[in-house]
Chain A
């Protein structure tokens, strides 16, 4: 079973920041938080991951709370092409256990 909880769906206006929350209250000290997204009919795409520090790359920022029990993925300027299902995953060893994710709809 997935160790994360995400809202099933969210809307975001084009050009605005999309903030996708994730709860992982049972995370262990050595478990990473990974984010993937899946655009319709495509394979999952890696976005970002982190352990306890905030991370930023060309796609997004990942904010992890100090107690590591939750995190937020931030897409700073959402576009229509960011419409997808976003998966928050607590990584246990080699497995990526995908939950149901959040369906993000970016609206023009």
Chain B
């Protein structure tokens, strides 16, 4: 079975540009998570969805970040405008159930560099 799919794998952009990261969760999974990883802060949860509905977005840094999940098989994380401090690896994960009983499976990540 295909795992979590993320695109693009690498993105280089200039400050001020809009960036859109994409994620396709594992088929049948009903929870989707967006994480960010940097050397300074490690892995941080940004937002997660359950049954396509955003449940907790308290980790989203600021209004420049937005996430959508229009259907069960697709989610986007958008940064507008991007800043150099947004440079990081962004991971998407999905699980079959929410809560402590759902094992999360991670995608390969998108490495974002904002110049």
A residues engaging B (CB < 8 A)?
A: 30-32, 34, 42-46, 49, 91-100
Contacts and interface: CB of A to CB of B under 8 A. Distances in A.
A62 to B, nearest CB: 13
A47 to B, nearest CB: 10
Main secondary structure of the interface of B (DSSP, over half): strand
Contacts of A43: 4, 91, 93, 106-109
Contacts of A44: 43, 91, 93, 106
Interface string B84-115: 00000001010000111011111111000000
Nearest to A45: B106
B108 to A, nearest CB: 5
Contacts of B31: 94
Contacts of B108: 42-43
A93 B100 contact: yes
Given A94-B48, A95-B45, A99-B42, A49 B56 contact: no
A71 to B, nearest CB: 16
Contacts of A99: 42
A104 B104 CA distance: 22
10 contacts: A30-B100, A32-B100, A34-B103, A42-B108, A42-B109, A92-B100, A94-B33, A94-B56, A94-B100, A99-B42
Given A44-B91, A99-B42, A94 B102 contact: yes
Interface string B1-43: 0001000000000000000000000000001010000000011
Contacts of B43: 44, 98
Contacts of B56: 94-95
A44 B43 CA distance: 10
